[in-house]
Amino acid sequence: MPRNARKFKIEVGGFYHVVKRGVNRGHVFRNGQDYSRFILGLELFNSVQPINLWSIVSRSGDSPSTASTVGERVQRVRENKGKPIVEIHGFCLMPNHIHLILREITDGGISDFIKKLGGFSTYFNKRYNRTGPLFEGRFKAVPIQSDEQLANTFRYVHTNPVELWEPKWKEFQVKNPGEAIKKLESYRPSSYLDYIGKENSPPFITKDFFLEFFGGEKDCQLAVEDWIKFKAHSAVVGVEQLE
């Protein structure tokens, strides 16, 4: 059956909240290595050049004189991967889905980037001896059209892991907001730590925009912490829920 056409065209210069989830909401990450492998893809696939990440991280059969470490091969790709096709302004990886804040900087860049990220399925299927699609066929992209939506999207993406510790988070029932804030600062598969001055990911996040938008690292942190406290005591109005 043919897919329904999108209701909008992704436009160069636009910001988008992108969500891609596992088939039947199944897990797409099972451990730290899976998260690290996907984050490496976020960095290296953002390129005009085609990249076979599987061959980079799993190459074998080199002679002793030509063998190189994975780190050396990755570094060579970093140095020669060419111009990016999107700006990555934020991300959060959850066990069964991903959130990205992207800006389209080349025509078709976001679609091409998400298609490249789909190669993670090859890694996952080989690692866990499974077959079939890992992700749902189509990603969801919500255009961000106002400053309020920009702020809410930044908060929403970076507070998504709170649901792992507070299952009734979306019903505005947070038992311990202080503990949730503390745990969020140790959640590695997210760009949140990079925004609050705790270097965590390779330097592929375009941080300057949101740092200027909120007023610096401390204000980015306060925006997220205040959102958690607000959700603990009140109802959020007008936020686009993508779950």
Please report the domains of the chain, with CATH numbers, ordered by start residue. 11-145 (3.30.70.1290), 146-234 (no CATH)
Residue 243 to residue 240: CA distance in whole angstroms = 9
Of 73-82, 102-111, 216-225, the least confident: 73-82
CA distances from 21 to 126, 189, 205, 235, 242 (A): 19, 15, 21, 26, 11
Q: Say what the pLDDT of residue 55 is.
A: 67
Quick check: 4 pLDDT over 50?
Answer: no
Please tell me the pTM assigned to this model. 0.86
pLDDT one-digit tens code per residue, 181-232: 999 999 999 999 999 999 787 789 999 999 999 999 999 999 999 999 887 7
> What pLDDT does 203 receive?
85
